[in-house]
Structure 1
Amino acid sequence: MKILAHINWFIATTIIFIALTFSIIMYPILPRPYARKIAAWFVRIATFFSVTKIGQEDPEAQMFLVNHQSDLDIGVIETITSKDITWVAKKALFDVPFFGLAMSLPEDIEVERESKISLIKLLHAAKDRLKKKRVLTMFPEGTRSRTGKMLPFKSGAKFIADKYQLKVQPIVLMETSKCYNIKEFYYMPKNIKVIFLDSFIADKSDQNWLENLRSKMQQAYDNEIKREK
Protein backbone atom coordinates (compact mmCIF):
# COMPACT_ATOMS: atom_id res chain seq x y z
CA MET A 1 0.00 0.00 0.00
CA LYS A 2 2.82 2.42 0.87
CA ILE A 3 4.55 1.79 -2.45
CA LEU A 4 1.29 2.51 -4.28
CA ALA A 5 0.82 5.71 -2.24
CA HIS A 6 4.36 6.84 -3.16
CA ILE A 7 3.73 6.15 -6.86
CA ASN A 8 0.43 8.00 -6.61
CA TRP A 9 2.22 10.93 -4.96
CA PHE A 10 4.70 11.19 -7.81
CA ILE A 11 1.90 11.11 -10.39
CA ALA A 12 -0.25 13.61 -8.46
CA THR A 13 2.68 15.99 -7.93
CA THR A 14 3.50 15.83 -11.64
CA ILE A 15 -0.13 16.62 -12.47
CA ILE A 16 -0.10 19.57 -10.06
CA PHE A 17 3.09 20.88 -11.67
CA ILE A 18 1.55 20.56 -15.15
CA ALA A 19 -1.60 22.34 -13.93
CA LEU A 20 0.44 25.22 -12.52
CA THR A 21 2.31 25.51 -15.81
CA PHE A 22 -0.91 25.68 -17.80
CA SER A 23 -2.39 28.23 -15.39
CA ILE A 24 0.63 30.50 -15.87
CA ILE A 25 0.28 30.19 -19.64
CA MET A 26 -3.47 30.84 -19.50
CA TYR A 27 -3.40 33.91 -17.22
CA PRO A 28 -2.69 36.39 -20.05
CA ILE A 29 -5.26 34.70 -22.29
CA LEU A 30 -8.30 34.05 -20.10
CA PRO A 31 -10.09 36.50 -17.82
CA ARG A 32 -9.65 35.86 -14.11
CA PRO A 33 -10.49 33.49 -12.42
CA TYR A 34 -10.75 30.94 -15.24
CA ALA A 35 -7.06 30.05 -15.52
CA ARG A 36 -6.82 29.00 -11.88
CA LYS A 37 -10.24 27.33 -11.85
CA ILE A 38 -9.44 25.25 -14.92
CA ALA A 39 -6.09 24.22 -13.45
CA ALA A 40 -7.71 23.25 -10.14
CA TRP A 41 -10.40 21.20 -11.84
CA PHE A 42 -7.76 19.50 -13.99
CA VAL A 43 -5.96 18.39 -10.81
CA ARG A 44 -9.18 17.26 -9.17
CA ILE A 45 -10.29 15.19 -12.17
CA ALA A 46 -6.85 13.80 -13.06
CA THR A 47 -6.02 12.74 -9.49
CA PHE A 48 -9.48 11.27 -8.81
CA PHE A 49 -10.33 12.98 -5.54
CA SER A 50 -13.93 14.01 -4.97
CA VAL A 51 -15.59 16.57 -2.70
CA THR A 52 -18.70 16.50 -0.56
CA LYS A 53 -19.98 19.88 0.61
CA ILE A 54 -21.75 20.21 3.96
CA GLY A 55 -23.63 23.45 4.59
CA GLN A 56 -24.12 26.33 2.20
CA GLU A 57 -21.73 28.86 0.74
CA ASP A 58 -22.78 32.42 1.51
CA PRO A 59 -23.01 34.29 -1.83
CA GLU A 60 -22.29 37.55 0.01
CA ALA A 61 -19.17 36.36 1.84
CA GLN A 62 -16.18 38.67 1.44
CA MET A 63 -13.63 36.54 3.27
CA PHE A 64 -13.12 32.80 3.61
CA LEU A 65 -11.11 31.51 6.57
CA VAL A 66 -9.95 27.92 6.04
CA ASN A 67 -8.03 25.42 8.15
CA HIS A 68 -4.85 24.16 6.46
CA GLN A 69 -3.56 20.58 6.34
CA SER A 70 -2.29 19.88 2.83
CA ASP A 71 -0.88 21.40 -0.35
CA LEU A 72 -4.08 20.17 -1.97
CA ASP A 73 -6.21 22.64 0.03
CA ILE A 74 -6.02 25.54 -2.43
CA GLY A 75 -7.18 23.32 -5.27
CA VAL A 76 -10.07 21.98 -3.19
CA ILE A 77 -11.31 25.49 -2.35
CA GLU A 78 -10.96 26.68 -5.94
CA THR A 79 -13.18 23.85 -7.20
CA ILE A 80 -15.99 24.24 -4.66
CA THR A 81 -16.74 27.89 -5.39
CA SER A 82 -17.12 29.91 -8.57
CA LYS A 83 -16.01 33.06 -6.76
CA ASP A 84 -12.92 34.97 -7.82
CA ILE A 85 -10.60 34.23 -4.91
CA THR A 86 -7.55 36.20 -3.93
CA TRP A 87 -5.28 34.30 -1.58
CA VAL A 88 -3.45 36.07 1.24
CA ALA A 89 -0.18 34.30 1.98
CA LYS A 90 3.24 34.87 3.48
CA LYS A 91 5.77 36.66 1.31
CA ALA A 92 8.15 33.69 1.30
CA LEU A 93 5.75 31.75 -0.93
CA PHE A 94 5.84 34.51 -3.55
CA ASP A 95 9.64 34.18 -3.64
CA VAL A 96 9.49 30.49 -4.55
CA PRO A 97 10.40 30.09 -8.25
CA PHE A 98 7.49 29.13 -10.49
CA PHE A 99 4.99 28.77 -7.62
CA GLY A 100 5.43 32.44 -6.76
CA LEU A 101 4.64 33.37 -10.35
CA ALA A 102 1.43 31.34 -10.19
CA MET A 103 0.42 33.46 -7.19
CA SER A 104 1.54 36.89 -8.36
CA LEU A 105 -0.06 36.72 -11.82
CA PRO A 106 -3.64 36.47 -10.45
CA GLU A 107 -2.83 39.24 -7.95
CA ASP A 108 -2.80 37.25 -4.76
CA ILE A 109 -1.68 39.25 -1.74
CA GLU A 110 1.64 38.78 0.01
CA VAL A 111 2.20 39.68 3.63
CA GLU A 112 5.40 39.87 5.61
CA ARG A 113 4.70 39.16 9.23
CA GLU A 114 5.96 41.51 11.92
CA SER A 115 6.32 44.33 9.38
CA LYS A 116 4.20 47.46 9.87
CA ILE A 117 4.87 48.58 6.30
CA SER A 118 3.72 45.19 5.04
CA LEU A 119 0.49 45.50 7.05
CA ILE A 120 -0.24 48.87 5.47
CA LYS A 121 0.37 47.38 2.03
CA LEU A 122 -1.87 44.48 3.00
CA LEU A 123 -4.75 46.81 3.82
CA HIS A 124 -4.38 48.70 0.54
CA ALA A 125 -4.20 45.47 -1.46
CA ALA A 126 -7.20 44.01 0.37
CA LYS A 127 -9.24 47.15 -0.33
CA ASP A 128 -8.32 46.94 -4.02
CA ARG A 129 -9.36 43.28 -4.31
CA LEU A 130 -12.61 43.90 -2.46
CA LYS A 131 -13.47 46.67 -4.90
CA LYS A 132 -12.98 44.11 -7.66
CA LYS A 133 -15.53 41.85 -5.90
CA ARG A 134 -12.93 39.24 -5.08
CA VAL A 135 -13.12 37.09 -1.96
CA LEU A 136 -10.14 37.34 0.38
CA THR A 137 -9.14 33.83 1.44
CA MET A 138 -6.69 32.94 4.17
CA PHE A 139 -5.33 30.01 6.14
CA PRO A 140 -5.37 31.75 9.55
CA GLU A 141 -3.10 29.11 11.09
CA GLY A 142 -0.33 30.40 8.83
CA THR A 143 1.00 26.93 8.09
CA ARG A 144 -0.17 23.33 7.80
CA SER A 145 -1.29 21.24 10.75
CA ARG A 146 -1.56 17.51 10.09
CA THR A 147 -2.49 16.44 13.62
CA GLY A 148 -6.21 17.21 13.40
CA LYS A 149 -5.73 20.04 15.91
CA MET A 150 -5.81 23.54 14.49
CA LEU A 151 -2.90 25.79 15.32
CA PRO A 152 -3.46 29.22 16.92
CA PHE A 153 -4.85 31.68 14.37
CA LYS A 154 -2.65 34.57 13.30
CA SER A 155 -4.03 38.08 13.82
CA GLY A 156 -3.81 39.11 10.15
CA ALA A 157 -7.28 37.81 9.32
CA LYS A 158 -8.84 39.79 12.17
CA PHE A 159 -6.81 42.86 11.22
CA ILE A 160 -8.30 42.95 7.71
CA ALA A 161 -11.81 41.79 8.63
CA ASP A 162 -12.15 44.35 11.44
CA LYS A 163 -10.83 47.21 9.32
CA TYR A 164 -13.39 46.72 6.56
CA GLN A 165 -16.13 45.02 8.63
CA LEU A 166 -16.12 42.08 6.28
CA LYS A 167 -18.64 39.30 6.05
CA VAL A 168 -16.57 36.26 6.99
CA GLN A 169 -17.40 32.64 6.28
CA PRO A 170 -15.38 29.88 7.96
CA ILE A 171 -14.69 26.72 5.95
CA VAL A 172 -13.50 23.46 7.52
CA LEU A 173 -11.56 20.99 5.38
CA MET A 174 -11.62 17.42 6.64
CA GLU A 175 -8.41 15.37 6.74
CA THR A 176 -6.91 16.54 3.46
CA SER A 177 -3.47 15.50 4.74
CA LYS A 178 -4.67 11.89 4.58
CA CYS A 179 -5.17 12.43 0.87
CA TYR A 180 -1.99 14.33 -0.09
CA ASN A 181 1.06 14.68 2.15
CA ILE A 182 4.13 16.14 0.48
CA LYS A 183 6.46 15.40 3.41
CA GLU A 184 5.66 11.70 3.41
CA PHE A 185 5.43 11.44 -0.40
CA TYR A 186 1.92 10.13 0.04
CA TYR A 187 -1.19 10.41 -2.12
CA MET A 188 -4.35 8.36 -2.07
CA PRO A 189 -7.51 9.74 -3.68
CA LYS A 190 -10.48 10.03 -1.38
CA ASN A 191 -13.68 11.95 -0.86
CA ILE A 192 -12.87 15.21 0.88
CA LYS A 193 -15.55 16.77 3.05
CA VAL A 194 -15.83 20.54 3.09
CA ILE A 195 -17.95 22.14 5.83
CA PHE A 196 -19.34 25.65 5.30
CA LEU A 197 -20.10 27.23 8.67
CA ASP A 198 -22.39 30.21 9.19
CA SER A 199 -21.02 33.55 8.05
CA PHE A 200 -20.84 36.64 10.26
CA ILE A 201 -19.86 40.31 10.14
CA ALA A 202 -16.51 41.00 11.80
CA ASP A 203 -16.93 43.05 14.98
CA LYS A 204 -13.77 44.84 16.06
CA SER A 205 -15.28 45.51 19.49
CA ASP A 206 -15.06 41.77 20.14
CA GLN A 207 -11.38 41.18 20.77
CA ASN A 208 -11.82 37.41 20.99
CA TRP A 209 -13.84 36.60 17.90
CA LEU A 210 -10.92 35.07 16.03
CA GLU A 211 -9.96 32.75 18.87
CA ASN A 212 -13.61 31.85 19.42
CA LEU A 213 -13.88 31.09 15.71
CA ARG A 214 -10.92 28.72 15.96
CA SER A 215 -12.72 26.83 18.73
CA LYS A 216 -15.91 26.69 16.66
CA MET A 217 -14.06 25.37 13.60
CA GLN A 218 -12.23 22.79 15.71
CA GLN A 219 -15.52 21.66 17.20
CA ALA A 220 -17.04 21.24 13.74
CA TYR A 221 -13.99 19.22 12.70
CA ASP A 222 -14.12 17.00 15.79
CA ASN A 223 -17.87 16.43 15.45
CA GLU A 224 -17.48 15.30 11.86
CA ILE A 225 -14.70 12.89 12.85
CA LYS A 226 -17.03 11.37 15.47
CA ARG A 227 -19.82 11.01 12.90
CA GLU A 228 -17.49 9.15 10.55
CA LYS A 229 -16.59 6.54 13.19
Structure 2
Amino acid sequence: MENGGTSSFMRTRRLESYFNASTGLSVKETVKSSVKEELELKPRTDLYADSDGWASVLISWIKIFICFVTMMFTTFVWALIMLMLLPWPYERIRQGNIWGHVTGRLMIWILGNPIKIEGAEFSNKRAIYISNHASPLDVFLIMWLTPTGTVGIAKKEIIWYPLFGQLYVLANHLRIDRSNPTAAIESMKEAARAVVKNNLSLIIFPEGTRSKNGRLLPFKKGFFHLALQTGLPIVPMVLTGTHLAWRKGSLHIRPAPLNVKFLPPISTKDWTADKIDDYIRMVHDLYAKHLPESQRPLPLESSRNS
Protein backbone atom coordinates (compact mmCIF):
# COMPACT_ATOMS: atom_id res chain seq x y z
CA MET A 1 0.00 0.00 0.00
CA GLU A 2 2.78 2.39 0.85
CA ASN A 3 4.45 1.79 -2.49
CA GLY A 4 1.12 2.23 -4.26
CA GLY A 5 0.54 5.55 -2.43
CA THR A 6 4.00 6.75 -3.30
CA SER A 7 3.52 5.75 -6.93
CA SER A 8 0.15 7.52 -7.05
CA PHE A 9 1.66 10.65 -5.47
CA MET A 10 4.48 10.71 -8.05
CA ARG A 11 2.05 10.28 -10.93
CA THR A 12 -0.02 13.17 -9.59
CA ARG A 13 3.10 15.40 -9.35
CA ARG A 14 4.09 14.48 -12.91
CA LEU A 15 0.60 15.33 -14.17
CA GLU A 16 0.69 18.69 -12.30
CA SER A 17 4.11 19.45 -13.81
CA TYR A 18 2.81 18.59 -17.25
CA PHE A 19 -0.23 20.83 -16.93
CA ASN A 20 1.82 23.67 -15.44
CA ALA A 21 4.32 23.47 -18.30
CA SER A 22 1.54 23.34 -20.88
CA THR A 23 -0.24 26.29 -19.29
CA GLY A 24 3.02 28.30 -19.11
CA LEU A 25 3.69 27.65 -22.78
CA SER A 26 0.19 28.76 -23.68
CA VAL A 27 0.54 31.98 -21.68
CA LYS A 28 3.90 32.75 -23.28
CA GLU A 29 2.48 32.15 -26.75
CA THR A 30 -0.53 34.30 -25.97
CA VAL A 31 1.60 37.17 -24.69
CA LYS A 32 3.96 36.91 -27.67
CA SER A 33 0.99 36.89 -30.06
CA SER A 34 -0.56 39.93 -28.35
CA VAL A 35 2.68 41.90 -28.49
CA LYS A 36 3.14 41.00 -32.15
CA GLU A 37 -0.43 42.11 -32.99
CA GLU A 38 0.06 45.36 -31.08
CA LEU A 39 3.27 46.16 -32.94
CA GLU A 40 1.66 45.35 -36.29
CA LEU A 41 -1.32 47.59 -35.55
CA LYS A 42 0.72 50.45 -34.14
CA PRO A 43 1.30 53.24 -36.71
CA ARG A 44 4.90 53.64 -37.83
CA THR A 45 4.71 57.35 -37.09
CA ASP A 46 4.65 56.49 -33.38
CA LEU A 47 7.85 54.46 -33.56
CA TYR A 48 10.31 57.20 -32.66
CA ALA A 49 11.75 58.63 -29.48
CA ASP A 50 10.08 61.99 -28.85
CA SER A 51 11.61 64.43 -26.41
CA ASP A 52 10.87 67.96 -25.23
CA GLY A 53 14.11 68.21 -23.26
CA TRP A 54 16.25 71.34 -23.60
CA ALA A 55 18.95 69.48 -25.55
CA SER A 56 16.45 68.23 -28.14
CA VAL A 57 14.91 71.68 -28.51
CA LEU A 58 18.33 73.33 -28.84
CA ILE A 59 19.39 70.88 -31.56
CA SER A 60 16.12 71.58 -33.35
CA TRP A 61 16.71 75.35 -33.28
CA ILE A 62 20.22 74.85 -34.63
CA LYS A 63 18.85 72.76 -37.50
CA ILE A 64 16.24 75.40 -38.31
CA PHE A 65 18.92 78.10 -38.30
CA ILE A 66 21.09 76.04 -40.65
CA CYS A 67 18.07 75.51 -42.90
CA PHE A 68 17.41 79.26 -42.96
CA VAL A 69 21.02 80.09 -43.84
CA THR A 70 21.07 77.39 -46.52
CA MET A 71 17.84 78.69 -48.03
CA MET A 72 19.21 82.24 -48.01
CA PHE A 73 22.27 81.07 -49.96
CA THR A 74 20.39 78.99 -52.55
CA THR A 75 17.72 81.69 -52.94
CA PHE A 76 20.36 84.36 -53.58
CA VAL A 77 22.08 82.20 -56.21
CA TRP A 78 18.88 81.31 -58.06
CA ALA A 79 17.47 84.82 -57.77
CA LEU A 80 20.46 86.06 -59.75
CA ILE A 81 19.89 83.35 -62.34
CA MET A 82 16.19 84.18 -62.68
CA LEU A 83 16.81 87.91 -62.90
CA MET A 84 18.92 87.18 -65.98
CA LEU A 85 16.01 85.11 -67.33
CA LEU A 86 13.28 87.75 -66.90
CA PRO A 87 12.39 87.75 -70.63
CA TRP A 88 11.89 83.97 -70.56
CA PRO A 89 9.10 83.09 -68.10
CA TYR A 90 9.10 79.35 -68.86
CA GLU A 91 12.82 79.12 -68.15
CA ARG A 92 12.21 80.85 -64.82
CA ILE A 93 9.65 78.18 -63.94
CA ARG A 94 12.18 75.51 -64.81
CA GLN A 95 14.94 77.15 -62.77
CA GLY A 96 12.50 77.55 -59.88
CA ASN A 97 11.92 73.80 -60.00
CA ILE A 98 15.64 73.09 -60.00
CA TRP A 99 16.04 75.44 -57.01
CA GLY A 100 13.24 73.50 -55.30
CA HIS A 101 14.87 70.14 -55.99
CA VAL A 102 18.18 71.29 -54.51
CA THR A 103 16.79 73.31 -51.60
CA GLY A 104 14.00 70.92 -50.64
CA ARG A 105 16.38 67.97 -50.56
CA LEU A 106 18.89 69.94 -48.48
CA MET A 107 16.19 70.96 -45.97
CA ILE A 108 15.06 67.37 -45.42
CA TRP A 109 18.68 66.19 -45.15
CA ILE A 110 19.58 68.87 -42.59
CA LEU A 111 16.52 68.16 -40.45
CA GLY A 112 17.44 64.47 -40.50
CA ASN A 113 13.98 62.85 -40.48
CA PRO A 114 13.99 59.33 -41.91
CA ILE A 115 11.99 59.29 -45.14
CA LYS A 116 10.40 56.63 -47.30
CA ILE A 117 9.22 57.31 -50.86
CA GLU A 118 6.75 54.97 -52.56
CA GLY A 119 5.40 55.01 -56.10
CA ALA A 120 8.28 57.09 -57.45
CA GLU A 121 7.54 55.75 -60.93
CA PHE A 122 4.50 58.07 -60.98
CA SER A 123 6.50 61.18 -60.03
CA ASN A 124 7.87 62.10 -63.45
CA LYS A 125 4.66 62.31 -65.43
CA ARG A 126 3.05 65.48 -66.78
CA ALA A 127 0.07 65.80 -64.48
CA ILE A 128 -1.73 67.79 -61.81
CA TYR A 129 -0.01 66.82 -58.55
CA ILE A 130 -2.11 67.24 -55.43
CA SER A 131 -0.98 66.86 -51.83
CA ASN A 132 -2.46 66.91 -48.35
CA HIS A 133 -1.03 69.74 -46.24
CA ALA A 134 -0.35 69.62 -42.49
CA SER A 135 3.18 71.02 -41.99
CA PRO A 136 5.84 73.33 -43.47
CA LEU A 137 7.72 70.12 -44.27
CA ASP A 138 5.12 69.39 -46.95
CA VAL A 139 6.41 72.36 -48.94
CA PHE A 140 10.00 71.11 -48.77
CA LEU A 141 8.90 67.66 -49.92
CA ILE A 142 6.91 68.81 -52.94
CA MET A 143 9.69 71.26 -53.89
CA TRP A 144 12.07 68.33 -53.94
CA LEU A 145 9.87 65.64 -55.48
CA THR A 146 7.71 67.28 -58.16
CA PRO A 147 9.18 67.14 -61.68
CA THR A 148 10.91 69.95 -63.54
CA GLY A 149 8.34 71.94 -65.49
CA THR A 150 5.82 72.13 -62.63
CA VAL A 151 4.06 75.38 -61.80
CA GLY A 152 2.58 76.01 -58.36
CA ILE A 153 -0.65 77.74 -57.38
CA ALA A 154 -0.78 79.41 -53.98
CA LYS A 155 -2.61 82.20 -52.16
CA LYS A 156 -1.50 85.72 -53.06
CA GLU A 157 -0.20 86.34 -49.52
CA ILE A 158 2.70 83.97 -50.18
CA ILE A 159 4.70 86.95 -51.45
CA TRP A 160 5.15 88.04 -47.82
CA TYR A 161 6.86 84.78 -46.81
CA PRO A 162 10.55 85.63 -46.28
CA LEU A 163 12.80 84.41 -49.11
CA PHE A 164 10.47 81.69 -50.34
CA GLY A 165 7.63 84.03 -51.28
CA GLN A 166 9.76 86.42 -53.29
CA LEU A 167 11.46 83.62 -55.23
CA TYR A 168 8.07 81.99 -55.79
CA VAL A 169 6.88 85.10 -57.61
CA LEU A 170 10.17 85.54 -59.47
CA ALA A 171 9.93 81.92 -60.65
CA ASN A 172 6.65 82.84 -62.36
CA HIS A 173 4.44 80.59 -60.25
CA LEU A 174 0.80 81.56 -59.92
CA ARG A 175 -1.10 83.20 -57.08
CA ILE A 176 -4.82 83.50 -56.47
CA ASP A 177 -6.91 85.91 -54.44
CA ARG A 178 -9.03 83.62 -52.28
CA SER A 179 -11.02 86.56 -50.92
CA ASN A 180 -12.28 87.37 -54.43
CA PRO A 181 -14.07 84.40 -56.06
CA THR A 182 -14.22 86.09 -59.49
CA ALA A 183 -10.48 86.84 -59.48
CA ALA A 184 -9.72 83.32 -58.19
CA ILE A 185 -11.66 81.73 -61.06
CA GLU A 186 -9.83 83.91 -63.58
CA SER A 187 -6.50 82.93 -62.01
CA MET A 188 -7.43 79.26 -62.42
CA LYS A 189 -8.24 79.82 -66.08
CA GLU A 190 -4.95 81.64 -66.56
CA ALA A 191 -3.11 78.74 -64.93
CA ALA A 192 -4.85 76.24 -67.20
CA ARG A 193 -3.95 78.25 -70.31
CA ALA A 194 -0.29 78.52 -69.22
CA VAL A 195 -0.12 74.79 -68.49
CA VAL A 196 -1.53 73.78 -71.87
CA LYS A 197 0.53 76.31 -73.83
CA ASN A 198 3.89 75.43 -72.21
CA ASN A 199 3.36 71.70 -71.53
CA LEU A 200 3.64 72.20 -67.78
CA SER A 201 2.54 70.20 -64.76
CA LEU A 202 0.75 71.67 -61.74
CA ILE A 203 1.08 71.28 -57.99
CA ILE A 204 -1.76 72.32 -55.67
CA PHE A 205 -3.01 71.66 -52.14
CA PRO A 206 -6.67 70.68 -52.70
CA GLU A 207 -7.60 71.41 -49.07
CA GLY A 208 -6.82 75.08 -49.72
CA THR A 209 -5.19 75.54 -46.32
CA ARG A 210 -3.06 73.73 -43.78
CA SER A 211 -4.60 71.20 -41.42
CA LYS A 212 -4.05 72.08 -37.76
CA ASN A 213 -3.96 68.50 -36.48
CA GLY A 214 -2.87 66.48 -39.51
CA ARG A 215 -6.36 65.23 -40.33
CA LEU A 216 -7.46 65.51 -43.94
CA LEU A 217 -9.73 68.50 -44.58
CA PRO A 218 -12.50 68.78 -47.21
CA PHE A 219 -11.25 69.46 -50.74
CA LYS A 220 -11.88 72.70 -52.62
CA LYS A 221 -13.03 72.54 -56.25
CA GLY A 222 -10.04 74.30 -57.81
CA PHE A 223 -8.09 71.16 -58.75
CA PHE A 224 -11.21 69.75 -60.45
CA HIS A 225 -11.62 72.83 -62.66
CA LEU A 226 -7.93 72.71 -63.57
CA ALA A 227 -8.24 69.04 -64.54
CA LEU A 228 -11.34 69.77 -66.59
CA GLN A 229 -9.65 72.62 -68.50
CA THR A 230 -6.28 70.94 -69.06
CA GLY A 231 -7.27 67.30 -69.47
CA LEU A 232 -4.26 66.30 -67.37
CA PRO A 233 -4.36 63.24 -65.08
CA ILE A 234 -4.26 63.75 -61.33
CA VAL A 235 -1.40 62.22 -59.33
CA PRO A 236 -2.12 62.23 -55.57
CA MET A 237 0.86 62.64 -53.23
CA VAL A 238 -0.04 61.21 -49.82
CA LEU A 239 2.18 62.67 -47.07
CA THR A 240 2.22 61.09 -43.62
CA GLY A 241 4.14 61.94 -40.47
CA THR A 242 4.93 65.56 -41.34
CA HIS A 243 2.42 66.93 -38.82
CA LEU A 244 4.21 64.97 -36.07
CA ALA A 245 7.67 66.08 -37.18
CA TRP A 246 6.83 69.80 -37.29
CA ARG A 247 3.72 70.65 -35.33
CA LYS A 248 1.74 73.82 -35.95
CA GLY A 249 3.01 76.77 -33.90
CA SER A 250 6.20 74.99 -32.85
CA LEU A 251 9.87 75.46 -33.70
CA HIS A 252 10.77 72.00 -32.43
CA ILE A 253 11.47 69.53 -35.23
CA ARG A 254 10.90 66.00 -33.97
CA PRO A 255 12.51 62.89 -35.50
CA ALA A 256 9.23 61.40 -36.74
CA PRO A 257 9.59 59.28 -39.89
CA LEU A 258 8.11 60.78 -43.05
CA ASN A 259 6.40 58.90 -45.84
CA VAL A 260 5.60 60.13 -49.35
CA LYS A 261 3.41 57.91 -51.49
CA PHE A 262 2.63 58.71 -55.12
CA LEU A 263 -0.60 57.04 -56.19
CA PRO A 264 -1.23 55.94 -59.80
CA PRO A 265 -2.48 58.73 -62.11
CA ILE A 266 -6.24 59.28 -62.21
CA SER A 267 -7.43 59.91 -65.77
CA THR A 268 -9.67 62.99 -66.15
CA LYS A 269 -10.33 62.81 -69.91
CA ASP A 270 -13.92 61.68 -69.41
CA TRP A 271 -14.72 64.02 -66.52
CA THR A 272 -17.75 66.28 -66.94
CA ALA A 273 -18.74 69.39 -65.01
CA ASP A 274 -22.08 67.96 -63.85
CA LYS A 275 -20.30 65.29 -61.75
CA ILE A 276 -17.92 67.57 -59.89
CA ASP A 277 -19.06 66.48 -56.42
CA ASP A 278 -18.69 62.79 -57.31
CA TYR A 279 -15.11 63.24 -58.53
CA ILE A 280 -14.09 65.30 -55.50
CA ARG A 281 -15.59 62.70 -53.16
CA MET A 282 -13.81 59.90 -55.03
CA VAL A 283 -10.37 61.54 -54.76
CA HIS A 284 -10.97 62.54 -51.12
CA ASP A 285 -11.99 58.97 -50.22
CA LEU A 286 -8.89 57.66 -52.00
CA TYR A 287 -6.72 59.88 -49.81
CA ALA A 288 -8.51 58.80 -46.64
CA LYS A 289 -7.94 55.16 -47.59
CA HIS A 290 -4.16 55.63 -47.82
CA LEU A 291 -3.74 57.76 -44.69
CA PRO A 292 -3.21 56.30 -41.20
CA GLU A 293 -6.16 56.42 -38.84
CA SER A 294 -4.73 59.46 -37.02
CA GLN A 295 -4.82 61.52 -40.24
CA ARG A 296 -8.15 60.44 -41.66
CA PRO A 297 -10.95 63.03 -41.63
CA LEU A 298 -13.40 62.98 -38.76
CA PRO A 299 -16.97 61.91 -39.63
CA LEU A 300 -18.19 65.51 -39.56
CA GLU A 301 -15.47 66.59 -41.98
CA SER A 302 -16.16 63.63 -44.27
CA SER A 303 -19.86 64.47 -44.41
CA ARG A 304 -19.05 67.87 -45.92
CA ASN A 305 -17.88 66.09 -49.06
CA SER A 306 -21.08 64.06 -49.30
> What TM-score do you get using the length of structure 2 for normalisation?
0.66
Distance of 1:112 and 1:63 partners within structure 2: 20
Q: Contact 2:131 / 2:236 at 8 angstroms: preserved in 1?
A: yes
Name the CA shift for 1:143/1:11 in 2 (closer, same or farther; >3 Å).
Answer: farther
Residue 67 of structure 1 corresponds to 132
For residue 68 of structure 1, give the secondary structure of its aligned residue in structure 2.
coil
Which one of the candidate residues 76, 80, 86 is aligned to 2:145? Answer: 80
Which one of the candidate residues 94, 100, 107 is aligned to 2:172? Answer: 107
Residue 204 of structure 1 corresponds to 272
Mind listing any 5+ residue stretches in structure 1 that lack a counterpart? Answer: none
> How far did 1:5 drift?
4.1
More helix by share: 2
> How far did 1:82 drift?
4.0
Q: Percent identity?
A: 21
Residue by residue over 1:159-212, the C-alpha shift from the partner in whole angstroms, topping out at 9 and shown as x without a partner, is 211122221101100120111225122202343111111211221343221222
Instruction: Say if 2:187 is the partner of 1:187.
Output: no
Q: Contact 1:9 / 1:180 at 8 angstroms: preserved in 2?
A: no
Q: Aligned-pair RMSD on alpha carbons?
A: 2.5
Q: Contact 1:109 / 1:126 at 8 angstroms: preserved in 2?
A: no
> What TM-score do you get using the length of structure 1 for normalisation?
0.86
Residue 37 of structure 1 corresponds to 101
For residue 260 of structure 2, give the secondary structure of its aligned residue in structure 1.
strand
Residue by residue over 1:77-115, the C-alpha shift from the partner in whole angstroms, topping out at 9 and shown as x without a partner, is 232344333221111122334332021122221011243
Bigger mean CA offset, 191-200 vs 11-20? 11-20
Distance of 2:73 and 2:200 partners within structure 1: 22
Name the CA shift for 1:223/1:150 in 2 (closer, same or farther; >3 Å).
Answer: closer
Bigger mean CA offset, 166-175 vs 55-64? 55-64
- Residue type of the partner of 1:172? V
Residue 26 of structure 1 corresponds to 77
Name the CA shift for 1:81/1:89 in 2 (closer, same or farther; >3 Å).
Answer: closer
> How far did 1:146 drift?
4.2
> How far did 1:119 drift?
2.0
- Regions of 4+ moved over 6 Å: none
Distance of 1:23 and 1:126 partners within structure 2: 29
Bigger mean CA offset, 154-163 vs 185-194? 185-194
Name the CA shift for 1:178/1:128 in 2 (closer, same or farther; >3 Å).
Answer: same
> How far did 1:149 drift?
2.1
Whose RCO is larger (CA < 8 A, sep 6+)? 1
Residue 218 of structure 1 corresponds to 288
Distance of 1:204 and 1:15 partners within structure 2: 48
Bigger mean CA offset, 157-166 vs 80-89? 80-89
The number of aligned residues is 226
Instruction: Say if 2:118 is the partner of 1:54.
Output: yes
Distance of 1:70 and 1:38 partners within structure 2: 20
Q: Contact 1:88 / 1:108 at 8 angstroms: preserved in 2?
A: yes
Residue 133 of structure 1 corresponds to 199
Distance of 2:182 and 2:134 partners within structure 1: 28
Q: Contact 1:171 / 1:196 at 8 angstroms: preserved in 2?
A: yes
Matches within 5 A, 1:149-188: 149-188=215-254
> How far did 1:40 drift?
1.3
Which one of the candidate residues 52, 55, 64 is aligned to 1:13? Answer: 64
More strand by share: 1
Matches within 5 A, 1:110-125: 110-113=175-178, 114-125=180-191
Name the CA shift for 1:99/1:80 in 2 (closer, same or farther; >3 Å).
Answer: closer
